[in-house]
């Protein structure tokens, strides 16, 4: 286990609902090829905080890597909807581009 993962887990003990910390930990898990742990964290973030736009892209990309294309498509779609509702055009465009790369 990396030092970063240990530190992030420590920070999360004090702030278990901190989406920034959970998202950062999920990204560290991906770097360490701990895909299931990353997936679980991203899914928790987005279930509890569907307005945490940044996690949609990373979860969908991870699902693509895990050969779960249909689920990835669904998460891209949810992310595009959330980005649209939040007025985050940049995130919407990134999600749409990744979605189109996967679908077409």
Domain spans in the chain, listed from the N-terminal domain onward: 3-103
pLDDT of residue 4: 94
Which listed CATH number (1.25.40.10, 3.30.590.20, 1.20.1290.10, 3.40.640.10) goes with 3-103?
1.25.40.10
Is it the case that residue 45 has pLDDT exceeding 80?
yes
What pLDDT was estimated at residue 11? 96
Residues 6+ away with beta carbon under 8 Å from 8: 21, 24, 25, 28
**Residue 30 pLDDT > 90, yes or no?**
yes
Query: What pLDDT, on a 0 to 100 scale, did the predictor assign at position 70?
Result: 98
pLDDT at site 1: 61
Could you read off the pLDDT of 49-84 as tens digits, one per residue?
999 999 999 999 999 999 999 999 999 999 999 999
As a whole number of angstroms, the distance between CA 56 and CA 76 comes to: 6
């Amino acid at each position: 286990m990396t030092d970063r993962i240990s530190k992030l887990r420590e920070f999360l003990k004090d702030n278990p609902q901190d989406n920034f910390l959970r998202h950062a930990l999920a990204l560290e898990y991906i770097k360490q090829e701990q895909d299931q742990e990353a997936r679980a964290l991203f899914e928790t973030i987005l279930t509890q905080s569907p307005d945490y736009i940044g996690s949609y892209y990373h979860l969908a990309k991870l699902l693509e890597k895990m050969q779960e294309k249909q689920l990835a498509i669904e998460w891209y779609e949810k992310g595009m909807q959330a980005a649209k509702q939040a007025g985050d055009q940049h995130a919407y465009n990134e999600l749409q581009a990744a979605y189109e790369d996967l679908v077409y």
